[in-house]
A and B are shown apart, each in its own frame.
Chain A
Amino acid sequence: QVQLVQSGAEVKKPGSSVKVSCKASGGTFSSYAISWVRQAPGQGLEWMGRIIPILARVNYTQKFQGRITITADKSTSTAYMELTSLRSEDTAVYYCAKGGYPLFSFDYWGQGSLVTVSS
């Protein structure tokens, strides 16, 4: 049983950056991917990217290339997602989820971190 606990809500100014953390417990952290999925208010789900610690591989969807960095600290079983050059459209709940490798589906999710971008 894997549990993912994310950092708290953030309010950011346009043009700034945000870094969200996701601490995993249970399971073997390095052996699976952690993906990041966001959900704008009242909207659907959007996959942003993933990290596979055991393979030292990171993949991003093209939409966020150049603005997103996903990292992982195996010593603390924590994954991070940093998004730069924030704009109002980035206001969303950001979820980390176990999945994307080796399985394509996402079977455990963090509780979500609300990021609000406002001047």
Chain B
Amino acid sequence: DIVMTQSPDSLAVSLGERATINCKSSQSVLNSSNNKNYLAWYQQKPGQPPKLLIYWASTRESGVPDRFSGSGSGTDFTLTISSLQAEDVAVYFCQQYYSPLLMYTFGQGTKLEIK
């Protein structure tokens, strides 16, 4: 099975400060045929479904504020919130797609709070 491991499990950051969440895959998610990383990031607030923030590891979904950015390639990825706002309090998940096994796997989630 493909395992996605996020770190840390929880994070407290002051308003206006940078928040960084890491995601590591047990297998590379880089597709050599198109040079794209099949890695996405989601934000989930209590009682709501997840919301897509980033796909292809670094492409922001339409309407997502530019303080959210994604980086990384292969097995190691990062979601960065450049200046934390109160409305960013949520759980964040990474997700990968591994085509040989047709598997979509999520990380365990990182809970982001205000310090």
Contact = CB atoms under 8 A, between A and B. Distances in A.
Looking at chain B's contact residues, is the secondary structure mostly helix, strand, loop, or mixed?
A: strand
Interface stretch (A11-19, A64-72, A75-83, A105-113): A105-113
Interface in B13-46: 38, 40, 42
Nearest to B93: A45
B95 A111 contact: no
B104 A100 contact: yes
Q: How large is the interface on A (under 10, 10 to 19, 20 to 34, 35 or more residues)?
A: 10 to 19
Given A44-B93, A45-B95, A95 B52 contact: no
A105 B95 contact: yes
Contacts of A46: 106
Contacts of B107: 44
B88 to A, nearest CB: 19
B77 interface: no
Interface residues of B, number: 20
Interface in B46-84: 49-52, 55, 61
Nearest to B96: A104
B104 A35 contact: yes
A112 B49 CA distance: 7
A47 B105 contact: yes
B102 A59 contact: yes
B12 interface: no
Contacts of A28: none
Interface string A76-119: 00000000000000000001010010011111011110000000
Given A44-B108, A47-B106, A105-B55, 6 more contacts: A35-B104, A45-B50, A46-B106, A103-B55, A104-B40, A112-B49
Interface of B: 38, 40, 42, 49-52, 55, 61, 93, 95, 97, 102-109
